[in-house]
Structure 1
């Protein structure tokens, strides 16, 4: 058996290989001596036996996964060692339905591999497995090893160590410190039978029968039961994903703020869709927290209400029009201007060159009237086919709805997908050269991404410039639970360029008219504390008004149990200085399992 020192040296070697492939298999000499599971797991994230054959590894089967692409079972040694860094459980990958049951005492012979869910390019951590296994059942009906209790006292406050610079920032080769770092603690339990009790739901049940709970009831909790992500250091260490070894139909249908009462028990897995996951053989009982969808107040006569709402790839074939209409009419109280994101073209994802979205917008505005709302007019610009990213063939774009009984739109001809909007002076005031128009569409910052849509609106004789945005997505970023710490946010590069271009345009308006009212709204795909927002705010041109809310209410999205901000409304100095504005993040989607979109709309009310 290798010493702990040699195990660490071996792990560093494996870490280098792991960066090149999703499954690590080395050609080290076979090691046929008696090996226990804690030897296989070792004291780092990478097994000292990776790529080697191990023989007759003993343990008790704790759970069996007979579905999906990762069929196999978990086995745990009932005789643990004294080192808290070494896990006593491991996953045995079979590829087909396993022929063992929980409680079987087995001897496993096979090859130790390090599998990276999502592939090496994802940056995810590796899952230690035994593959190509031969299994001998020694006896059946044995007691499953007692579950290790995961609770707020067990999970450290610090999330992760910094990665080793010599290993490209990877934490794979670092000796686990489960008493210091949350990610190390979870890794030290990888594959083991674990248990949580009376946990609050912080991420609603999704379409794949998964939800998120926290074992730390007070960690960054807000008034609606979420776990707020308020900085890059607020990772919420108590979060765990819960899935089930049983039928999906029996999985709890939960909202944020609900509770899984009693105990939830099963092996601790690791996957690409959230990292450490308790795969439950026993699920707690769902207790409703009674969460209700919010309704914002109606704007007063002298207030202009501007909203932003991501309607999630809306096209004429969808069955969500009535729901979206009810949300706009009832929950948002029919804002004067609604900037929409993810309006698809008239045949959705069909990739045939169609770019017009008139049918999509008419169907939505008709549904709003049917829901008792105003007869909104709309303005939008069709993109160049396949040039703006999103679902291939869908040609998503921003669009303005406005209530002509409350606000008028200043049409200036000439705006199209490729013509940049300019700023000029008309009777001493700022004006757009085209309206609606697109901001700097030839700028490389907008490659394969949505170009901002800007229009002139008039409310009670006062011009208001509204800019609708949908910045580049976070696709490709390394996860919070990545093996690379801190994780790389590669997508931020493009958003920072987009933010800079938007800031430049707003400054052009303010250079012509210092007190111009500019409202920049949308799905920025970034946080209120991000560099993206700092670039938009540079020089005082804009300010993210969501920061006027209490910290616990600054969110529009829930991702992997983190309640966070992606959608925002930024305002120019004239609006901010007046202190006569009110911001509301209207929580109707992100916290609910039956969401019509994954984003919450935002509303700003102010007196121009």
Structure 2
């Protein structure tokens, strides 16, 4: 499930296709007229066929008839037509998209048209994306026969109509692709949606499971009882439980003409939506609403965790999303307020995505002192403690992320509650090790220090930051992480089923390196308190998490929560885990400590995924912070 940047939205077709359309316009091949109709040679369902790929792909078709059900004047410009005279085969769609490119056509919903053009299969994002394709007509000549016709009745997508199984397994003889498999819309959710591609569909009043984003889209579910979170989302529980009722909602009207509703997770899209069913790069099957209901606010509030007790150590992790001094003061203030009010000023706070002192300006700057001073000053202004910090500057452009930004992990700590044990002078390329101190306990050779930075697992990726802290006379080792992203992974709606998760191989090796380091600590000092935190960019059920936990070295604390509360991020309507805190066996109880217990944790520690961002249209980061409290 890749986390893909969409700075270039809305997506547009290739320059080559646009050039073809422009040439056709100049040559008079793309036109709208009101001449009399001629008999159609093929019908829309003949074009769509019974698989994901048109049997007529690449061929010219003439006088395909249909009623216009929607016109899109932005992004991928064109319109949808639907044949009101359906065949008896539920696997063949009766709708198709007519791609017009830059042409300013005058068709409107309700027009009866005849379209001649070329049948094509367009893959949003390109072949390498693994996406399914959209069947469409290109280089069209359009004849309007009449206007004001009734639109074909919409097909209702509902909990009753959407199958519980998500997709068939791909054909091993075709590289795992489902493209050539006959559609089974009564058996698989993706097959149902494909059988409705281009058709007029509707959803009734539905719960929002993905908040309105900057691209004017949101996600709903037509299955209110499918893996609901406590706060109204849809929890992504496993690779085999993809939440089949999710559907992306956009609107046909440009936002300049009709503002898109702002919704948080758990709100209701009252009255639902109706319009053509599209397929796009950033979400797959999408209802492009011609008519859109109103958002009913269900009053979702940002969570606050409890304050740690005097003898509890609170360790937190927070991805602050490319924070740099050029960000507006309001972002610093909002993040600081969250640290103080929502996270209750944790004793140790590991930050991810702290950028250097001039952000994305790519001039060789690697220091983040200005970023950290501005942030810690904002925390004081919000009523929090004067945090100290420790970090290691990366080599320029060697740790991935936004070019020039030089993101890194940073430890903030409250010196009134905890002290940092400084050892040596760690740098970007020198790894820290574990030795036995004169007292017989584990100690780091470099604190702060990086873990195995020369390991190729960390190429173009953030290196883990290890630090040794002291709380009430006891050492605590904290490792701050930001594993490789899911960029390059195929989406759940991929033509390959199951989708290819290529990025997982790198995170697996990263997890193995961190696991080896933790085991080194535990070899020297059995029962040592080791806390591994950060944005590991993977699920609690993933191979990455399993590699971190291997040999009993660590345990993912998010698993102590009820399944309905296990998430830190919302992507395409799936509430999922990306940020984690993992604990060694010594943390919270195996030493005979009383530990702590609350409604969200288990005996020995208390864990909280503090939901303040991921479910909201207004975000200060796209991640929710995590907090662990225990008695060392």
Instruction: Give the alignment's TM-score, normalised by structure 1.
Output: 0.94
- Between the aligned partners of 1:445 and 1:116, the Cα distance in structure 2 is 32
Q: Which of 431, 441, 444 does residue 456 from structure 2 map onto?
A: 444
After superposition, give the CA deviation of every residue in 1:376-404 in whole Å (9 maximum; x if it has no partner): 00000000000000000000000000000
Q: Give how far 1:576 is off.
A: 5.0
Aligned to 1:271: 280
Structure 1 runs of 4+ aligned residues shifted over 3 Å read 576-579
Structure 1 position 607 matched with structure 2 position 631: yes
- Between the aligned partners of 2:353 and 2:399, the Cα distance in structure 1 is 11
2:379 and 2:385 in contact (8 A); partners too: yes
Q: Which of 338, 344, 365 does residue 354 from structure 1 map onto?
A: 365
Structure 1 position 584 matched with structure 2 position 594: no
Specify the SS of the correspondent of 1:273: coil
2:588 and 2:630 in contact (8 A); partners too: no
Q: Give how far 1:223 is off.
A: 1.2
Q: Which of 75, 78, 86 does residue 84 from structure 2 map onto?
A: 78
Structure 1 position 561 matched with structure 2 position 573: yes
- Between the aligned partners of 1:168 and 1:421, the Cα distance in structure 2 is 43
1:71 and 1:98 in contact (8 A); partners too: no
Aligned to 2:54: 47
Aligned to 2:598: none
Aligned to 1:593: 617
Range with bigger deviation, 89-98 or 517-526 = 89-98
- Pairwise mapping of residues 129-144 of structure 1 onto structure 2 (< 5 A)? 129-144=136-151
- Between the aligned partners of 1:226 and 1:75, the Cα distance in structure 2 is 34
| Count of matched residue pairs | 580
- Pairwise mapping of residues 64-103 of structure 1 onto structure 2 (< 5 A)? 64-68=71-75, 70-96=76-102, 97-103=104-110
2:588 and 2:631 in contact (8 A); partners too: no
Aligned to 1:518: 530
1:212 and 1:560 in contact (8 A); partners too: yes
Structure 1 position 419 matched with structure 2 position 430: yes
Aligned to 2:292: 283
Give the 3 Å change call, closer, same or farther, for CA 576–178 of structure 1 in structure 2: farther
- Between the aligned partners of 1:234 and 1:315, the Cα distance in structure 2 is 38
Specify the SS of the correspondent of 1:90: strand
- Between the aligned partners of 1:455 and 1:506, the Cα distance in structure 2 is 12
- Between the aligned partners of 1:54 and 1:254, the Cα distance in structure 2 is 42
1:22 and 1:115 in contact (8 A); partners too: no
1:22 and 1:120 in contact (8 A); partners too: no
Q: Give how far 1:250 is off.
A: 1.5
After superposition, give the CA deviation of every residue in 1:153-209 in whole Å (9 maximum; x if it has no partner): 000000000001111100000000000000000000000000001110000000000
Aligned to 2:26: none
Q: Give how far 1:482 is off.
A: 0.1
- Between the aligned partners of 2:244 and 2:16, the Cα distance in structure 1 is 26
Specify the SS of the correspondent of 1:283: strand
1:346 and 1:359 in contact (8 A); partners too: yes
Q: Which of 254, 270, 275 does residue 261 from structure 1 map onto?
A: 270
Aligned to 2:556: 544
Specify the SS of the correspondent of 1:59: strand
Give the 3 Å change call, closer, same or farther, for CA 140–33 of structure 1 in structure 2: closer
Aligned to 2:213: 206
Q: Give how far 1:263 is off.
A: 3.1
In structure 1, runs of 5+ residues without a counterpart are 1-20, 26-31
In structure 2, runs of 5+ residues without a counterpart are 1-14, 21-38, 591-602
- Between the aligned partners of 1:33 and 1:518, the Cα distance in structure 2 is 71
After superposition, give the CA deviation of every residue in 1:455-477 in whole Å (9 maximum; x if it has no partner): 01000000000000000000000
- Between the aligned partners of 1:455 and 1:166, the Cα distance in structure 2 is 50
Aligned to 2:29: none
Specify the SS of the correspondent of 2:608: strand
Q: Give how far 1:34 is off.
A: 1.3
Structure 1 position 403 matched with structure 2 position 427: no
After superposition, give the CA deviation of every residue in 1:411-465 in whole Å (9 maximum; x if it has no partner): 0122010011010111100000010000000000000000000101000000000
Specify the SS of the correspondent of 1:250: coil
Structure 1 position 197 matched with structure 2 position 204: yes
Aligned to 1:162: 169
Specify the SS of the correspondent of 1:209: coil
Aligned to 2:540: 528
Q: Give how far 1:580 is off.
A: 1.8
- Pairwise mapping of residues 228-239 of structure 1 onto structure 2 (< 5 A)? 228-239=235-246
Specify the SS of the correspondent of 1:113: strand
Give the 3 Å change call, closer, same or farther, for CA 159–117 of structure 1 in structure 2: same
Q: Give how far 1:33 is off.
A: 6.8
RMSD between superposed Cα atoms in Å: 1.3
